[in-house]
Amino acid sequence: MCDTCGCNLTDANRHLVAAEPRETIEVLENLLAENDLQAMRNRARFNARGLLAVNLMSSPGSGKTALLEATIQALPPGVRVAVIEGDLETENDAARIRRHGVPAVQITTGMACHLDAHMVGQALQRLDLSAIDILFIENVGNLVCPANFDIGQHCNVLLLSVTEGDDKAAKYPVMVRAADAVLITKTDLLPYIEEFDLARAREAVGGVRRDVPLWEVSAKNGKGLARWLDWLTASLTACRAAPGPSYAPAEPRARVSAPAHASRR
Ligand SMILES: Nc1nc2c(ncn2[C@@H]2O[C@H](COP(=O)(O)OP(=O)(O)OP(=O)(O)O)[C@@H](O)[C@H]2O)c(=O)[nH]1
Ligand SMILES: [Mg+2]
């Protein structure tokens, strides 16, 4: 499906890759290297402004936009927020965010199943970064590819909803490995979905990463949001305490590590 990350391989074109694997790998490596360079530029811009960039990842419909809407309403006054929305098509999610009086830029990726650093770099030109404390980037709904592309974010937040089943962390471990925090969403539906076992869901996450902070939240009834908001505001403080304009990660793909407070939870 995706134009750039290699997941567009099909039975019809697989022989091309098999015939020339080295060239294919080289092309993909070059694309990733270019992406990483742009991601560093994005991150340098964020650091120059002292803003925290949070990348939200999940499968389609897990509640990323709903969580953002609830977060916008619940954040302390004075924390200025903007959102970059990624979807294959439509302005729907950006429109939902703008209804809360928050600036939102919609990226429509067409065929691409993840955001890349160049897309985000272009979207940044439509935002006043000096007027933002936390920039949320809602990635395209997909439980694989978004984890592979650095877009300049400081932290990755993975959403797993109770409607998806409790085994997703085990089946899609790449996402868990990339996550700085995991949220189990739509917990207000737990009484109606007997098959979902919270303990099993936690075990599935813990089986991949023991140290990742994990909370249950409901955007609908607001339960669990307080811990998420605490983590966000503490992450903003930690991010601002890091070196500013001249900051650049030692390794191109390295993210600013999860704030120290996060791993203690
Ligand atoms: N009951 C309940 N429904 C929720 C909750 N969060 C989201 N939903 C519903 O789930 C559906 C999908 O929510 P979205 O916020 O659009 O999900 P998304 O992850 O942004 O979806 P994409 O952008 O398409 O990937 C909507 O009908 C929401 O109203 C929740 O906490 N509880
Ligand atoms: Mg959405």
Asked whether 200 and 167 are in contact (CB, 8 A), the reply is yes
| Mean pLDDT, rounded, for 92-107 | 98
Crossing angle of helices 21-49/117-124, nearest 10°?
30
Q: Residue 105 contacts by C-beta under 8 Å, 6 or more apart in sequence? A: 82, 83, 84, 85, 94, 123, 126, 127
Asked whether 175 and 209 are in contact (CB, 8 A), the reply is no
The answer, yes or no, to whether any atom of ligand 1 lies below 6 A from the CB of 218, is: yes
Query: Does residue 4 carry a pLDDT above 80?
Result: no
Which of 55, 65, 90 to probe ligand 1 with, by most ligand atoms within 8 A of CB? Answer: 65
Residue-wise DSSP of 166-231: TTHHHH-HHHHHH-SEEEEE-GGGGGG-TT--HHHHHHHHHHH-SSS-EEE--TTT-TTHHHHHHH
Asked whether 81 and 105 are in contact (CB, 8 A), the reply is no
| Mean pLDDT, rounded, for 201-225 | 96
Helix (H) or strand (E) holding 65: helix 64-74
| Mean pLDDT, rounded, for 133-144 | 96
The answer, yes or no, to whether any atom of ligand 1 lies below 6 A from the CB of 152, is: no
Residue-wise DSSP of 24-46: HHHHHHHHHHHHHHHHHHHHHHH
Q: In angstroms, how far is the first alpha carbon of the chain from the final one?
A: 38
Query: Does residue 217 carry a pLDDT above 80?
Result: yes
Query: Does residue 25 carry a pLDDT above 90?
Result: no
Residue pLDDT, tens place only, 160-190: 999 999 999 999 999 999 999 999 999 999 9
Q: How far is the CA of 86 from the centre of ligand 1 (A)?
A: 15
Percent of the chain with pLDDT over 90: 73
Q: Whose CA is nearest to atom 13 of ligand 1?
A: 63
**What structural domains and CATH numbers belong to the chain?**
14-264 (3.40.50.300)
Crossing angle of helices 225-241/64-74, nearest 10°?
80
